[in-house]
Structure 1
Amino acid sequence: MKTIGGLMLILTAVSAIAAPAMPPHLGVSGQDEYREFLEAPDHRAFAIAPGGAWAWVSGEPSAREAEEKALAICQGQTAQRCVSYAIDDRTVFDAAQWPTLWRPYSSAAQARQAPVGRERGQRMHDLAFIDEQGKRRHLSSLRGKVVVLHFWGAWCPPCRREMPDLQKVQQAMAQRPGIAFVILQAREKFDVSRQWADKQGIVLPLSDSGSAGEDDATFRLAGGGRIKDREIANRFPTTYVLDRNGVVVFAHIGPIHDWSQYEAFLRDITDRKGR
């Protein structure tokens, strides 16, 4: 029994080594790269950013130079702020700081001066839609609330796979009055999206983008015009988070890996009072 118990302890230890804690927000490829990083030569560093951007280097003249280089490469890939996760064998990740990296959030005056667009720091196009209660709305009518703006379609396999995970985070945030989820379908009629969601037991507050069907590659604007959907979403799904003044603080093209890891970010931005 002792031998078996000892063997079990050895196997447990080996299992723990084989399954290191993963940096947050990384997809499958990023996790594979982190495992490779752990086996790389010293003077190595791994950097990450909200949304899943990452970079790592090894074999640099010093650990400090490795950190600086990894951060620079990571920052070249994203508008989000990159931070160090690991240097050589040390995990240097600051878990308390992590959910604050969408800051600083805009003031009303800054938002008025921000250019209109879809990039971080820009004011999102004022889209028109019909909310889940059948009311005509536009994004600017939600000023004072944080907005999770999500584009999807029932025709889109990655969109369908993501919906249950998105639903969990929406339900986790549902009791916070300072946040709104605007979930808009692309290139299909709302009835098609709603029917699919109902069959799957999805109870998200879906809004109607006004799409006339698969040949309609536009979204409606509050002023009565239209904008090509690719000017907002290069592919689907696409997600934006807007601060209380309608300014983009986070943008993500494609499905989000593990929505639950974004709850702390959403709590941080909703807890910050608008200016």
Structure 2
Amino acid sequence: MADKKKVWKIASNVLFGVLIIALVVPTSRMWIQQGLMKIGLFKPNLETPKAEATSTENKPASNQPEVSFTDDNDKITHISDLKGKVVFLNFWATWCPPCKAEMPSIQQLKEKFAGNDQVVFMLVEIEQNKEGAHAFLKEGKLDLPIYYPATEIPANWLGQSIPTTVILDKAGNIAAHHEGMADYSRKEVYNFITELINK
């Protein structure tokens, strides 16, 4: 009986140690978060925010403030120039483990739309850390288009938390807004974007 208690105590101490390491080491956290996404947690919110649905009825997209982003070559992309396309915007930073954890799912979603010029993916590294962004992409073997803010990001797009994802419809209005990590490789995300393309 004493031996069983001793073994149980050692096993629980080892498990506790593993959990502490997993919480402290960022790469371990990312691995755990990705595992939780694979079992069906972290579903993205694909509903138009109520405030946005009300405001866009009274305020045409053409009257919304101009938002622009730059790429690595300092080429500016204005969101207004992307009218007629569905735009998937993901706001992230290189120091954010949940941001990094969801990136492979965004890669999978992007690959499902390969060759479709009706959808644009823009992963916006909000702190202008070009070197860190590309180091992460290389390490994760990801092929995602990285952009950086060239103008102020509207508060209804990006509040106080990252990662945040915004999907704009072809008129430039918010079709979906999700704060926090999510699994974007899910079939319902693909279907949601496909429906927006076909409207």
Bucket of the pairwise TM-score, normalised by the shorter protein: 0.5 to 0.7
Which of 194, 204, 208 aligns to 2:134? It is 194
Greater helix fraction, Structure 1 or Structure 2: 2
Aligned residue runs from structure 1 range 109-124, under 5 A: 113-114=58-59
Identity %: 25
Q: CA deviation at 1:127?
A: 2.0
Q: Which runs of 5+ in 2 are unaligned?
A: 1-39
Q: Which runs of 5+ in 1 are unaligned?
A: 1-25, 31-49, 54-77, 81-103, 105-109, 117-121, 210-219
SS of residue in 2 equivalent to 1:161: helix
SS of residue in 2 equivalent to 1:141: helix
Q: CA deviation at 1:187?
A: 2.4
Paired position in structure 1 for 2:87: 147
Contact 1:234 1:253 in 2 (8 A): no
Paired position in structure 1 for 2:67: 127
CA gap of 1:146–1:199, structure 2 versus 1, over 3 A, is same
- Letter of the 1:27 counterpart: L
Contact 1:148 1:241 in 2 (8 A): yes
Paired position in structure 2 for 1:101: none
Aligned residue runs from structure 1 range 214-233, under 5 A: 220-221=150-151, 226-227=152-153, 232-233=158-159
Which of 221, 236, 247 aligns to 2:162? It is 236
Contact 2:46 2:176 in 1 (8 A): no
Q: CA deviation at 1:115?
A: 6.7
Contact 1:111 1:123 in 2 (8 A): no
Partners of 2:114 and 2:73 in 1: CA distance: 16
Contact 1:140 1:246 in 2 (8 A): yes
Tell me which structure has the larger Cα radius of gyration.
Answer: 1
Paired position in structure 1 for 2:41: 27
Question: Which ranges of 4 or more aligned residues in structure 1 deviate by more than 4 Å?
Answer: 110-113, 122-125, 227-231
Paired position in structure 1 for 2:20: none
Contact 2:85 2:119 in 1 (8 A): yes
CA gap of 1:269–1:230, structure 2 versus 1, over 3 A, is closer
